[in-house]
Structure 1
């Protein structure tokens, strides 16, 4: 058993190795026999002892050391010491100890002065490790005995928690594995031990609370399976790990299961039915009884686990400049020695474990405080851009409140011709390509791959870029929006009676119903509204039907629409146009089938968008449409972006108007730039806030590789404004956001 779980731990440390397979290391890694010498030595001493005593000093064994009278007790101790020997002589254990801050600090400072106190300090550490490992080993041996005798107890709960935590660690990290090596490591020291400890505590806590072994085990198995599969599916679609903020999806299980197809309902029902049957049939037969017989022990166990989590939480919460107290075992090494926060959640989860990212997200600041942030600094910024807005407005004669502005977030829209090696039988987006040639257009930098729609919508509405926020932030609507002092949406400049949202999906996804309510949108058209008639494409509400909903809600007044299409969302199962197909080298038939369906859906978006704009061109009022793809579909492998990594996060956009407007030249923009572009294209007067965003667009946006001088100052001004709105004191006055209306 030890060899098996030791091997699982061993391969867990090599998951990110290129061309990893579970059995790759089997021939030279499974038979880890570091401990064999010590076990043979123990047996040899025992044999010699037994032979000498039994042959020459039989009276000594009989009268002074009556081992034979209590053989079961000594056998238990022997097993516990053997398991302890296995652990302490395993190379992984040795490597983990050598990587701790204490040992590295000790070796660095004391290697040349091995005094008695220094050696004593090291001996104490080793003794504590031996006692701790022996303590756990005793409970594991006890748990195996309880399993054999069909009598559950604390030992079996601990043994099961160890097994479940090792397995969950492997499956969870495997679900997000990548060919990755950073600082010559496939995973950072301490990551695996930290995550297994977190999972062990969770499983043991459930055993302690439920106090019934079979039921708690079934719940733990469900937890293991659910987390592993959810993480795998999310990473496949979005190249992002499972995060605490994803728990919000549990409020909408129908929408959640809908992302992975109807068959998922059947799998979930069958699994639940099977586990329910096992519990119902075996509950009085298999391992029946209480885990904790003494309530005081149960209470103490629960409290110790809670104190453990509180300790971990505050270790993250109390970081100073991102650093933890060096005295914290394991975690301080993992956190302090390797600073890769700027890589984002995915790489941090792969190198430091999912659990590390979870605690980081739960405890991190939404945004780090700029060094110069103060009330006087914000007053200077406000005055600076008040004057700038006056200067800009001298050459502008329109008012945004007198226009109709339609933001169309086109789900997963991106021209496949920019993806290397993708072969398409015919161009699926030729009409939109033609539209782009005659309008303000280019590429948009997305903040997600395969997902993140709500984050894109947030940035287009507010003008606040995600790149200024903490890397641990994953969902802006649920993590950032509720804490904002003011939500500077472009929709605020339109009459509340003429603000509409169209997103034919669940209204509560990412708390949109709350956000739209706070923004005082007059109407939210979603899949729960009665009377929304339209046809589906690939199983989702079609773009053509969504465009019809926009036209049905147009009136003679100036209006604002925030529209999110859903046609090109997974799953991709469209058959028309049947003569269009796509392929990618190395894809299976099923993958090429999905890719072909996706490009067919793009083709339908292409046709519907052209027809929509043609219809709007005949309307007797000024209309401007901002059309953009929010992210690429999670279809393409990492190899597709090897020669052009930036292409993984670039989609298409255009800004079209049904009246004469200039064709602006912005080849690459951020989502937060769109509002400033709309003001410029419609020649509309700006507030001090939009004067700042205009300056960012022209001098400090994502198309600029290195900022310095004035550009850096503008970028810093935006960061200060964003901090004031999200995490600061709210020093900015309401006048900073006022756009002239007449």
Structure 2
């Protein structure tokens, strides 16, 4: 009869067949392997084995790499080291020549709407659409300030684009794969909300989903919003694809204005057109696409119908503020391109992309996959800036500068670099337009506000 023995860990190592040197080596090897993974030296398996931290979604990262590798790689982002030269300067020195500009006496309402996955699907070639999904947005582009935002994410991680717009910070100055809201916003931080609140604005954040999503319930407090209205604030709302509709978000914004007493800053984030698009379908597709296989047609119909609803919600909002006397600015933009299937299927099958592997994307491919349209409408000026192109970290700074409003030091810095022609900051060298000197200063300013002395509030 066979005998089976179970040895505890100490007993196992105490067996005579394990010499002392062997036991030491047995313990030392895992430590070396862990250290290599953690510090990611040149011969790290992360690089040698082709494991890269380029996933936009942490749950997917863990699925692809395994729990152990995903966890170890995430550990590398726990501590953020200061950039070179940080301890050689003070924040006042960093802020030199960033003095406050004279502000206008006009204090318009500022309404930012970050519409989930908003993009122009007619950019996909070899498709026939039953009608234009964004006719109203396109009409605004013709007569008002508009252009393209280069955003830091693709298909997900919405809050990173939001972080850039609200603060002027850049995700590219944080470890690859970071989620700023979840990891780094842990104290009061200058933002559009805090800047405008300091000048008499009521500041309200609106999101038609759970308040804990991306820690917004905490982050918005650090950004100095007066209130955060999540899905609980919507009274008997209409749902589309099991999400509160974009139209309801516009109605909520209008309601906030009707109940406000002074200038108002609203930052609204929608949810209706969140992926995936092979589920949560509409009862009827408002936009229909032809000339594609059935499975991808369903995805494109679903997504394009959501874009059509978004366009209607923008029209409702603009039409309301057209009829009032309060000067108002509406900034409408998307957070990222939609996730149209695994391996970028919706983009490759239509011919929008030639290669499904991002590592082989040329500059044009990268910009196509990370560019979303935006428009800035107001009811009191005739000035128009057409065909603009900028990183999403510039958008808030650009709006404050355009309407002569106060700015944070980073935002004033960004507007000064814009006068030099640099409006895109990226970790990709062929996309980045910053000089090495400006890139270093940007890094120093951002580090100080996020992790250092935290600058002036």
- TM-score norm. by structure 1 comes to 0.51
C-alpha distance in 2, partners of 1:525/1:550?
10
Structure 1 residues 373-394: Cα deviation after superposition (integer angstroms, max 9, x where no partner): 22426443211323xx4xxx25
Q: 1:702 corresponds to which residue?
A: 424
Structure 1 residues 443-477: Cα deviation after superposition (integer angstroms, max 9, x where no partner): 1122222211111111111110111221142x111
Contact 1:695 1:714 in 2 (8 A): no
Is residue 663 from structure 1 mapped to residue 370 from structure 2 by the alignment? no
Structure 1 residues 221-264: Cα deviation after superposition (integer angstroms, max 9, x where no partner): xxxxxxxxxxxxxxxxxxxxxxxxxxxxxxxxxxxxxxxxxxxx
TM-superposed deviation, 1:405 = 1.2
Q: 1:574 corresponds to which residue?
A: 282
Q: 1:489 corresponds to which residue?
A: 191
How do 1:86-105 and structure 2 match up within 5 A? none
Which secondary structure state, in structure 2, belongs to the residue aligned with residue 612 of structure 1? helix
C-alpha distance in 2, partners of 1:539/1:305?
54
Q: 2:413 corresponds to which residue?
A: 692
TM-superposed deviation, 1:441 = 0.9
Is residue 381 from structure 1 mapped to residue 94 from structure 2 by the alignment? yes
Is residue 610 from structure 1 mapped to residue 307 from structure 2 by the alignment? no
Contact 1:575 1:597 in 2 (8 A): no
Structure 1 residues 684-726: Cα deviation after superposition (integer angstroms, max 9, x where no partner): 2445332102123443222895768x84422321111112223
C-alpha distance in 2, partners of 1:516/1:337?
41
Structure 1 residues 470-512: Cα deviation after superposition (integer angstroms, max 9, x where no partner): 1142x11111212x6x512110023488221211211111111
Contact 1:366 1:469 in 2 (8 A): no
C-alpha distance in 1, partners of 2:30/2:291?
46
1:556 to 242, 261, 267: 261
Is residue 722 from structure 1 mapped to residue 443 from structure 2 by the alignment? no
TM-superposed deviation, 1:661 = 5.0
Q: CA, structure 1 residues 676+299, in 2 after alignment: closer, same or farther (shift >3 Å)? A: farther
Q: CA, structure 1 residues 695+333, in 2 after alignment: closer, same or farther (shift >3 Å)? A: same
Structure 1 residues 44-74: Cα deviation after superposition (integer angstroms, max 9, x where no partner): xxxxxxxxxxxxxxxxxxxxxxxxxxxx9xx
- Structure 2 spans left out of the alignment, 5+ residues: 15-24, 355-363
- TM-score norm. by structure 2 comes to 0.79
Is residue 452 from structure 1 mapped to residue 157 from structure 2 by the alignment? yes
How do 1:269-418 and structure 2 match up within 5 A? 292=6, 297=11, 312-317=33-38, 319=39, 322-323=40-41, 332-335=43-46, 337=48, 344-345=54-55, 353-354=65-66, 355-364=68-77, 367=80, 369-376=82-89, 378-386=91-99, 389=100, 393=101, 396-398=103-105, 402-418=107-123
TM-superposed deviation, 1:415 = 0.3
Contact 2:331 2:375 in 1 (8 A): yes
C-alpha distance in 1, partners of 2:193/2:334?
20
Which secondary structure state, in structure 2, belongs to the residue aligned with residue 528 of structure 1? helix
Q: CA, structure 1 residues 313+697, in 2 after alignment: closer, same or farther (shift >3 Å)? A: farther
Contact 1:366 1:726 in 2 (8 A): no
Contact 1:410 1:565 in 2 (8 A): yes
Greater relative contact order (Cα < 8 A, sep 6+): 2
TM-superposed deviation, 1:668 = 1.8
Which secondary structure state, in structure 2, belongs to the residue aligned with residue 494 of structure 1? helix
2:217 to 492, 506, 513: 513
C-alpha distance in 1, partners of 2:296/2:48?
40
Structure 1 residues 526-566: Cα deviation after superposition (integer angstroms, max 9, x where no partner): 2234x522212232211111110111111231111110111
Which secondary structure state, in structure 2, belongs to the residue aligned with residue 553 of structure 1? helix
- Structure 1 spans left out of the alignment, 5+ residues: 1-71, 73-144, 147-152, 155-291, 325-331, 738-742
Which secondary structure state, in structure 2, belongs to the residue aligned with residue 374 of structure 1? helix
Which secondary structure state, in structure 1, belongs to the residue aligned with residue 97 of structure 2? helix
Instruction: Give the number of the structure whose residues are more often helix, by fraction.
Output: 1
How do 1:531-542 and structure 2 match up within 5 A? 532-542=235-245
Q: 1:477 corresponds to which residue?
A: 181
Q: CA, structure 1 residues 333+512, in 2 after alignment: closer, same or farther (shift >3 Å)? A: closer
Which secondary structure state, in structure 1, belongs to the residue aligned with residue 45 of structure 2? helix
Contact 1:368 1:470 in 2 (8 A): no
C-alpha distance in 1, partners of 2:30/2:250?
50
Equivalences, count? 416
TM-superposed deviation, 1:681 = 2.2
Bigger Rg, structure 1 or 2 = 1
Instruction: Give the number of the structure whose residues are more often strand, by fraction.
Output: 2
Which secondary structure state, in structure 1, belongs to the residue aligned with residue 89 of structure 2? helix
Q: CA, structure 1 residues 592+564, in 2 after alignment: closer, same or farther (shift >3 Å)? A: same
C-alpha distance in 2, partners of 1:611/1:549?
11
TM-superposed deviation, 1:403 = 2.8
How do 1:48-67 and structure 2 match up within 5 A? none
TM-superposed deviation, 1:357 = 4.7
Contact 2:133 2:304 in 1 (8 A): yes
Contact 1:410 1:630 in 2 (8 A): yes
C-alpha distance in 2, partners of 1:602/1:366?
40
Which secondary structure state, in structure 1, belongs to the residue aligned with residue 86 of structure 2? coil
Contact 2:189 2:450 in 1 (8 A): no
Q: CA, structure 1 residues 420+374, in 2 after alignment: closer, same or farther (shift >3 Å)? A: farther
Contact 1:416 1:422 in 2 (8 A): no
Which secondary structure state, in structure 1, belongs to the residue aligned with residue 96 of structure 2? helix
Point out 4+ residue stretches in structure 1 off by more than 6 angstroms. Answer: 304-310, 346-350
C-alpha distance in 2, partners of 1:514/1:573?
32
Q: CA, structure 1 residues 472+544, in 2 after alignment: closer, same or farther (shift >3 Å)? A: closer
Q: 1:58 corresponds to which residue?
A: none
TM-superposed deviation, 1:361 = 2.1
TM-superposed deviation, 1:421 = 2.8
